[in-house]
Amino acid sequence: MSKTELNKQWIFKLFLELITQQETRDSKFAVRFGEEKQKVESELGQKLDLHLSEVHLIACIGDHGPINVTTISEKTDLTKGSVTRITQKLLASDLIKKQQLHDNKKEVYFRLTAKGQKLYKIHDRVHGEIEQRFMLLLDKYTPEQLAFARELLQDLLEWDY
């Protein structure tokens, strides 16, 4: 087997390992976020039974609010039905609030409440810490290697295996 073919085999093997490890990393993030969420729960005096998709929807509203269901759906890749279901849960938990704009009474927009804003800040901080560690990892690569890695990852995202 040629060196190129061997490298392809190793890349495939590492790709499979990466996919498998992602589940473990998601669990670690969930644990870390859960610990932070517990601090907020004690501060708020309220239990927050949220899934990561619900927290990411809070992040979307925090980043882009006021925002409507259609735009949330586009930005999060969730269906409008899922967004509606999640926003109803978040409304009931007093993490977001509904509003209508003065010039458009038909369309409903969402904003974060004070509780939602606290959760948003925690999420933002944890994501920032992860991004910072990731950037430190990438510092060891040359610009050419980074360009290749970007192209490879883009191809993997578009590849239908």
Domains of the chain: 46-158 (1.10.10.10)
Could you tell me the CA-to-CA distances from 48 to 21, 42, 86 in Å, in that order? 27, 10, 13
- For the segment 7-25, the average pLDDT, to the nearest whole number, is 81
pLDDT in tens, 56-105: 899 999 999 899 999 999 999 899 999 999 999 999 999 999 998 777 77
The reported pLDDT for the residue numbered 97 is 97
For 108-122, the DSSP string reads EEEEE-HHHHHHHHH
Whether the model pTM is above 0.75: no
The reported pLDDT for the residue numbered 10 is 86
pLDDT in tens, 22-55: 777 777 777 777 777 787 777 777 787 888 789 8
Look up residue 94 and give its amino acid. D
pLDDT in tens, 113-152: 998 998 898 888 888 888 899 999 999 999 999 999 999 9
- For the segment 110-115, the average pLDDT, to the nearest whole number, is 94
Helix crossing, 80-92 with 69-76: angle to 10°?
110
**Closest of 66, 60, 73 to residue 107, by C-alpha:** 66
